[in-house]
Amino acid sequence: MTRAPQDNQLEVCESEHLQRDDTVHTALQRQLTPHLTVHRIIPQRAIRMIGPWCFLDHFGPVAPANYRQFDVAPHPHIGLQTITWLLSGQLLHQDSLGYEQPLRSGQLNLMTAGRGISHAEVADHDPDQPLHGLQLWCALPPEHEQTEPRFDHYQQVPKFSLGNCTATLIMGSYATEQRRLTSPALSFSPTMALLLQTPQATVVDIQLERNFEYGLYVVSGVMAALDKQTKSHQLLSIGANRRHITLELSADSIVLLLGGEAFEQPVKMWWNFVSASEQRVKQAQQDWDNQHERFGHVAHYQPPSN
């Protein structure tokens, strides 16, 4: 998706490089469309980045009648990967590479912007489920910022049981007691995104990589961990240098575990552009304003009729 027009200040995002931390952060609300309010957990003043993750939006639920005309017009990106995951609803991805890909719950859309791409996101057909999902941005390491843009769609990713939780491995790998599972999603740096869902109150022990920074975002329900209670639209930052964490989850909880190695250097974010180089970000804005060919044209996109 896109950041709102008011998100037009240059932000510096960097890993905290924290060995240990247990701070609760509350998401900020942003109005993306008249019917769609997003809860933004990163970046914000108190927490800028978790490993390579520099952006996390939680959108919806929005009733079907209120997003049948959902339309995020073509907009550009550089220097990042966008990860779109739906808990319910129907979206359609369209981009300047010519892809037109429907997205449903349990599927993954992964767009690698690299040196430049543009895309649009619209409601697909006549939706009959609420729109509810997550979008994340993963910053590309400096040596991969200029990679060729690409789009990947994954019909399924690994799903397994952790105690009474259903765990979905969106990106990266996770080691259970029996084996190590790996998502097929393309990644350019050590990272992971694991979604936990439980219909009943439960306690679950999560294995962690000692050199990863981690955060736990509560999509719904209530989570207790490290003597902290974290509710919907809040994230518990737990830093690094941990081997495991025990979570107490209320009934009907959904929790996203984000992790990754600390980014070696800060990244600059301006609107939808991410780069270690401020000059590269400014150049991208100029190129978009001047309709530079690097961002292509989203040929399938049709503006909504008035």
**H helix or E strand, kind and range, residue 289:** helix 278-289
Query: Do the Cβ atoms of 212 and 51 come closer than 8 Å?
Result: yes
139: left (phi over 0), alpha (psi -120 to 50) or beta: beta
Cis preceding linkage at 142, omega within 30: no
| Residue 93, marked binder | no
| Residue 300, marked binder | no
φ, ψ (nearest 5 deg) of residue 295: -95, -5
- Reference 49, options 12, 7, 21, 84; nearest CA is 12
Query: Do the Cβ atoms of 176 and 160 come closer than 8 Å?
Result: yes
Query: Do the Cβ atoms of 244 and 206 come closer than 8 Å?
Result: yes
Name 6's bridge partners.
none
| Residue 121, marked binder | yes
Residue 180: strand, helix, or coil: strand
Tokens 């993954």 locate to 108
| Residue 119, marked binder | yes
Tokens 């961002």 locate to 295
Residue 227: strand, helix, or coil: coil
Contacts 24+ apart (CB under 8 A), 104-109: 105/129, 106/156, 106/168, 107/153, 107/154, 107/155, 107/156, 108/83, 108/84, 108/153, 108/154, 108/157, 108/170, 108/185, 109/82, 109/83, 109/84, 109/151, 109/152, 109/153
The binding site comprises 75, 77, 119, 121
Annotated binding-site ranges for Fe cation: 75, 77, 119, 121
